[in-house]
Amino acid sequence: MLPTYPFAGRVYTYDPAAPLDISLPLAPGESQVNCFWAEPVQFDTIRVGSFVGSVALGGSTNYQRIHVTPHGNGTHTECYGHISPDPAITLNQCLRRFLFVARVVSVAPVSQPNGDLVVLLADVQAALMAQPDRALPEALVLRTLPNDDAKRHRHYSGTNPTYIEPALAEYLAEYSIQHFLLDLPSVDREEDAGQLLAHHAFWQYPAQPRREATITELLFVPDEVEDGLYLLNLQITSLELDASPSKPVLYRLTPAPTEGSAALAR
């Protein structure tokens, strides 16, 4: 008997034993995904007196320090504290739920007259309307096309990577889509003179900040994860910062049989 999850007047089933991890791991070295000129992740062995925090080096346990930049290394989730001067606005305070109904859509960016590649609102709307169940989700997972496996290791700094048009962020806010997840370094242009138009539009900051809304960047949605409806488990660390390394995990949602159809099946 599979567990069920209600959404938009329907009941869905999902298999908790079939998770689909769409995060990119944090590991040391130059081969990991990186953006905004962040230093690579580093793992340092702790040494105190005669103690060495490495079993391989003769220590009793492994004991390491991590050097990581959430916004630049691997999959991360951020809240509107990212663009607020208030240090009390942290992701750990803003994200209080962790299960959401999400829709995965795949969209190709469009080349603009200035050469930029931009994901357009019209194309995302078309992808959403192409789904059998058109109910807008609590979370939107955007996979950009082509879905190059190099996204797992790409160094984006200085490359002016793909971003979204601010109208798309405004649309997500207007229709109360609380969580936006995408496989890009940022929703905004790499260098935009500090405007951050899509960030401001999505969080409706500073006019009416959407406190519980989050953006997750630098994920990777494998090809075997089809466009459609999923249960999202958005996992973070309990850091009192505007952002945290994160681990979004999807579970495919399937409409549960109605009582009538279940009776016929028996």
Q: What is the pTM of this model?
A: 0.94
* Whether residue 129 has pLDDT greater than 50: yes
CB 138 within 8 A of CB 187: no
Residue 232 identity: L
pLDDT in tens, 165-202: 999 999 999 999 999 999 999 999 999 999 999 999 99
Per-residue confidence (pLDDT) for residue 132, from 0 to 100: 76
Average pLDDT over residues 14-35: 96
Establish if 103 belongs to a structural domain: yes
Q: Domain with 175 in it: what CATH number?
A: 3.50.30.50
Task: Reply yes or no on whether the pLDDT at 242 is more than 80.
Answer: yes
* Mean pLDDT across 41-52: 97
State the burial class of residue 59 (Cβ atoms within 10 Å of its Cβ: 0-12, 13-18, 19+): middle
Where in the sequence is the domain holding 230, given as residue range(s)? 4-26+71-255
- Number of domains forming the structure of the chain: 1
Is 49 contained in some domain? no
Residue with the bigger pLDDT between 30 and 72: it is 72
In this prediction, residue 131 carries a pLDDT of 81
Report how far apart, in Å, the C-alpha atoms of 263 and of each of 13, 129, 254, 258 are. Answer: 17, 32, 18, 9
pLDDT of residue 259: 62
The answer to whether residue 153 sits within a structural domain is: yes
Residue 62 lies in a domain: no
Residue 198 lies in a domain: yes
The DSSP annotation for 212-251 comes to T-EEEES----TTS-SEEEEEEEEE---SSSEEEEEEEEE
Q: Is residue 251 part of a domain?
A: yes
